[in-house]
Structure 1
Amino acid sequence: MSTRIVLVRHAQSVRPRLGEPDYDERPLTENGLAAAESLVPRLAAYSPTAVLSSPQRRAVQTVTPAADALGLDVITWAELREWESGLLPSADWETLYAYSWAHPEFAHGSGESLDALTARAGKALARMATEYPDTTVLVGSHGTFLTRALIAAGHRADWDFCRAMPMPAIYEVTSSQAAGA
């Protein structure tokens, strides 16, 4: 059995405040909301049986228009949330992220390492395969999470790939229950 998983990176969101913890309710910008609406025909064409999302508002807002058009609810899963980096938004975030990508076993402070994020993403893919066998699932999430999910699914991706990922972006993977992810 296999599950087609359509990973959707959220559309353009309001920027986090520098020096302050990021917050789950950070929304999409007006352009982001328009982009989410423009995704509807493309996402509906996959004929998903379920729409899952990170509980973070920007991810939910990105997949909600498609879910509404399909008559489906958006189901939030905590494990689909963005990387818990342990970093405050800062002007030098790219340098800090690049370090993490070069050392994926490293965790900043009480944050999650990229290796731990990859494991979390892989478990989420396996859960989707178990709960939604032989169907298509739309998944709203975030750039770093999606990149690490692609890695967990056996695809090659790196920091340059993650940095260049547009908002929104769509990727497709197949998860097999037999393979576990």
Structure 2
Amino acid sequence: MRTNIIFVRHAHSDYTPEERTRPLSEKGLRDAQAVSELLKKENIHHVLSSPYRRAIQTVEGIAVSLGKEIVIEEDFKERVLSEKPVEDFHAAITRVWEDEEFSWDGGESNKAAQDRGVKAIKRVLRRLKGKNIVIGTHGNLMVLIMNGFDSRYGFDFWKQLDMPDIYKLSFDGSELKEVTRLWRRKDSVDIWNSL
């Protein structure tokens, strides 16, 4: 029996420097409603989320519609890029993807964030074996976790993600068997095929 992890990268948020309380934008709230409608077809058993407000808000609708509690999992929070805001985000994020051991002051390396995320997924796979689980999370961490199971999912994959975006990962035990993109914008092209 397969366990399905449905990663939901949060919808668009209004920027604030405080990561934990940053809310969805008006567009993000509209997209979160579309996420909920799409996920109703997936026979969801559990809803988990990063502790960050924008991730919770993105999966809140499906949890409410199914009468499920959102279980907050600290380890699904976004990777910390740097202790202080960076001047050039593109250059800073490129650097950490070029060297998995590198980290900016006060930040997490790709390796550290990936280890945290993969361990969290393995705990979920053991605890909720055979279930369909929605996880509200963040783009960088989601791709680092996917990369931990299949190296095809890397920096180029991260760069083409939508906000929100939804990927269903099907596992047999802790072995990744299939990846399916569930979110499709009319104007987006999905260049990443299933395993």
TM-score of the alignment, normalized to the shorter chain, above 0.5:
yes
Q: Which runs of 5+ in 2 are unaligned?
A: 177-195
Number of positions where the alignment pairs a residue of Structure 1 with one of Structure 2: 177
CA distance in 2 between counterparts of 1:170 and 1:53 reads 14
CA distance in 1 between counterparts of 2:16 and 2:149 reads 29
Aligned to 1:11: 11
1:122–1:144 distance in 2 versus 1, CA, 3 Å = same
Aligned to 2:110: 114
CA distance in 1 between counterparts of 2:83 and 2:170 reads 32
Moved more, 147-156 or 74-83: 147-156
CA distance in 2 between counterparts of 1:58 and 1:51 reads 15
Question: Cα deviation per residue 1:104-128 (whole Å; 9 max; x = unaligned)?
Answer: 1111112211011111111111011
Contact 1:125 1:175 in 2 (8 A): no
Contact 2:6 2:133 in 1 (8 A): yes
Question: Cα deviation per residue 1:147-175 (whole Å; 9 max; x = unaligned)?
Answer: 11111222512222212211000011123
Letter paired with 2:145: A
RMSD of Structure 2 on Structure 1 (CA): 1.8
Identity %: 31
Shift of 1:85: 1.6
Q: Does 1:94 align with 2:90?
A: yes
Question: Cα deviation per residue 1:61-90 (whole Å; 9 max; x = unaligned)?
Answer: 000001111111111100000001225334
Aligned to 1:151: 147
1:162–1:179 distance in 2 versus 1, CA, 3 Å = closer
Residue from 160, 168, 172 that aligns with 1:164 = 160
TM-score, normalised on structure 2?
Answer: 0.84
TM-score, normalised on structure 1?
Answer: 0.91
> Which 4+ residue blocks in structure 1 deviate beyond 6 angstroms?
none
Shift of 1:142: 0.3
Contact 2:125 2:174 in 1 (8 A): no
Question: Cα deviation per residue 1:26-78 (whole Å; 9 max; x = unaligned)?
Answer: 00001101100111121111111100000000000000001111111111100
- Highest RCO, 1 vs 2 (Cα 8 Å, sep ≥ 6): 1
Contact 2:13 2:23 in 1 (8 A): yes
Matches within 5 A, 1:12-161: 12-17=12-17, 22-161=18-157
Q: Which runs of 5+ in 1 are unaligned?
A: none
CA distance in 1 between counterparts of 2:130 and 2:47 reads 15
1:149–1:176 distance in 2 versus 1, CA, 3 Å = same
CA distance in 2 between counterparts of 1:164 and 1:91 reads 22
Determine helix, strand or coil for the equivalent of 2:135.
strand
